[in-house]
């Protein structure tokens, strides 16, 4: 599961990526700073189970900061997108090929309106145009993929009576489309045959893209939004005001021991000696956080994973009394699971052999023994019982 950062050039996408991952990338004020995909690790945030149980945890596959569990997620920063990218403009083809790997997208906008569609300096450019063109480009790319693959199976469906949904899902497996997703989208559009699919192919492709690749809108550079574009667009779009430069500065200051900061929170504490310039910069960031509740960067990633992709987090332990693994690490591992997953799904995620030999599970918050069909809840702590 990867989250892709997309947007036109020069909107602060590389800064956003570094703020999420703290990975060194080129950060410059000109188009196409990023010419190939950067891959890093960001972290989604949940209240840690250590609070509920009153224990000190020792995470292995994640991080706990002051009772908040940070769970790793791959982040993909792809080259900037310009209009007609699906026709090869700019770095378009390279950009679109990278999208195959993503499960969700964060569209980083320059909400200040100070860059045009190509990422060059501008005065009062309307960021709504960027929302529209990026959606158009991604939908056009998706349409091309669906149309190309439909052509490959048409004769088989028409003359050999092959199953349309099965054949198409096999062809689209490379971009993560499952048969159940196809059926759901077809039903929503009353598509029940090859002819009706061809008649509604653009609508179908767009709906399929929405299901496969949901998009979060990040109104970046909201700290310099002098034209109040965010206030205008929030009435029409689900959009999050962000200050990526501020988030990056906070994480760097925290790493140097100058402040205590928990990503996603509404404030921070100064704990080190600061210069006057540093104090002024941090107070500027604090002002943004007071206005909007946070820098918005963490919120974008959390929303992508837990709302758009409908994931939950579940802890696994081996020793139910000590809440530990075999080495004594308390609440060591947490897993991101699709909402609706079962105890058996979790067992298979840990190891195929554990899934195959599954007997039962114990949910430790409520201290109940459950079976293979038990629907996991967000924050569950699970002990799997398996045969030898």
Residue 88, pLDDT > 60, answer no
How many domains is the chain partitioned into structurally?
3
Q: According to the model, what pLDDT value does residue 8 have?
A: 87
Same domain for 107 and 23?
A: yes
Average pLDDT, the chain: 91
Q: According to the model, what pLDDT value does residue 9 have?
A: 84
Instruction: Name which of 64-73, 83-92, 244-253, 366-375 the model is least confident about.
Output: 83-92
Residue 354, pLDDT > 60, answer yes
Same domain for 186 and 153?
A: yes
Burial 224-260 (b: 16+ CB within 10 A, else e): ebebebbeebeeeeebbbbbbbbbbbbbebbeeebbe
Domain C-terminal end among 279, 303, 327? 303
Same domain for 16 and 97?
A: yes
Same domain for 222 and 182?
A: no
Q: What percent of the chain has pLDDT over 70?
A: 91
The tens digit of pLDDT for each residue in 333-349 reads: 999 999 999 999 999 99
Report field, pTM of the whole predicted structure over 0.85: yes
Same domain for 118 and 57?
A: yes
Q: According to the model, what pLDDT value does residue 31 have?
A: 42
Residue 32, pLDDT > 50, answer no
What value does the mean pLDDT take over residues 310-331?
Answer: 98
What value does the mean pLDDT take over residues 95-112?
Answer: 87
Same domain for 145 and 83?
A: no
Residue 119, pLDDT > 90, answer no
The tens digit of pLDDT for each residue in 190-248 reads: 999 999 999 999 999 999 999 889 999 999 999 998 889 999 999 999 999 999 999 99
Residue 91, pLDDT > 60, answer no
Same domain for 358 and 232?
A: no
Residue 87, pLDDT > 70, answer no
Q: According to the model, what pLDDT value does residue 10 have?
A: 83
Domain C-terminal end among 258, 279, 303? 303
What value does the mean pLDDT take over residues 108-120?
Answer: 91
**Higher-confidence position of 133 and 22:** 133
Same domain for 52 and 190?
A: no
Q: According to the model, what pLDDT value does residue 26 have?
A: 45
| Other CB atoms within 10 Å distance of the CB of residue 170 | 15
What value does the mean pLDDT take over residues 63-75?
Answer: 96
Residue 93, pLDDT > 60, answer no
Same domain for 240 and 99?
A: yes
- With contact defined as beta carbons under 8 Å apart, do 248 and 226 qualify? no
Question: Tokens at residue 377, please?
Answer: 């809840």
Same domain for 184 and 225?
A: no
Same domain for 26 and 127?
A: yes
What value does the mean pLDDT take over residues 295-303?
Answer: 98
What value does the mean pLDDT take over residues 45-73?
Answer: 97
Q: According to the model, what pLDDT value does residue 23 have?
A: 65
Question: Residue 24: pLDDT band by 50, 70, 90 thresholds?
Answer: low
Residue 164, pLDDT > 50, answer yes
Question: Residue 34: pLDDT band by 50, 70, 90 thresholds?
Answer: very low
Q: According to the model, what pLDDT value does residue 95 have?
A: 60
Residue 250, pLDDT > 90, answer yes
Query: Could you tell me how far CA 238 lies from the centroid of its own chain?
Result: 15
Question: Tokens at residue 135, please?
Answer: 């959606």
Which domain does 332 fall in, by range? Answer: 311-386
What value does the mean pLDDT take over residues 366-384?
Answer: 98
Domain C-terminal end among 184, 205, 226? 205
Residue 307, pLDDT > 60, answer yes
Rounded CA-CA distance 311/336 in Å is 6
* C-beta pairs of 135-140 under 8 Å, 24+ apart in sequence: 135/215, 137/81, 137/83, 137/84, 137/85, 137/86, 137/92, 137/96, 138/6, 138/96, 138/99, 138/105, 138/209, 138/213, 138/215, 139/202, 139/205, 139/206, 139/209, 140/86
Residue 175, pLDDT > 90, answer no
């Amino acid at each position: 599961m990867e989250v892709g950062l997309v947007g036109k050039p020069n909107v602060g996408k590389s800064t956003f990526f570094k703020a999420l991952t703290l990975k060194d990338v080129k950060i410059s004020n000109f188009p196409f700073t990023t010419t190939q995909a950067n891959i890093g690790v960001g972290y989604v945030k949940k209240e840690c189970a250590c609070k509920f149980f009153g224990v000190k945890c020792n995470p292995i596959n994640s991080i706990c900061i002051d009772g908040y569990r940070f769970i790793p997620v791959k982040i993909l920063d792809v080259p900037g997108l310009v209009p007609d990218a699906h026709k090869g403009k700019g770095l378009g083809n390279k950009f679109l090929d990278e999208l195959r790997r993503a499960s969700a997208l964060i569209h980083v906008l320059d909400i200040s309106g100070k860059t045009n569609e190509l990422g060059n300096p501008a005065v009062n450019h309307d960021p709504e145009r960027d929302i529209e063109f990026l959606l158009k480009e991604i939908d056009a790319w998706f349409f091309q993929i669906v149309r190309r693959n439909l052509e490959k199976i048409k004769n088989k469906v028409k003359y050999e009576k092959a199953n349309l949904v099965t054949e198409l899902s096999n062809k689209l497996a490379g971009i993560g489309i499952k048969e159940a997703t196809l059926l759901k989208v077809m039903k929503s559009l009353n598509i029940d045959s090859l002819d009706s699919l061809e008649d509604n192919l653009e609508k179908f492709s767009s709906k399929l893209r929405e299901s496969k690749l949901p998009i979060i809108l990040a109104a970046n550079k909201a700290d310099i939004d002098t034209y109040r574009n965010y206030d205008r667009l929030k009435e029409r779009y689900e959009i999050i005001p962000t200050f990526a430069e501020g988030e990056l500065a906070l994480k760097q200051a925290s790493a140097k021991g100058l402040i205590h900061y928990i990503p996603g929170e509404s404030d921070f504490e100064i704990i080190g000696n600061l210069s006057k310039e540093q104090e002024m910069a941090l107070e500027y960031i604090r002002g943004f956080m007071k206005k909007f509740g946070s820098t918005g960067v963490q919120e974008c990633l959390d929303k992508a994973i837990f709302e758009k992709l409908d994931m939950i987090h579940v802890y696994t332990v081996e020793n139910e009394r000590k809440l530990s693994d075999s080495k004594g690490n308390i609440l060591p591992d947490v897993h991101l699971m699709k909402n609706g997953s079962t105890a058996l799904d979790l067992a298979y995620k840990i190891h195929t052999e554990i899934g195959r030999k599954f007997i039962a599970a114990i949910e430790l918050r409520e201290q109940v023994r459950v079976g293979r069909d038990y629907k996991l809840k967000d924050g569950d702590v699970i002990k799997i019982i398996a045969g030898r």
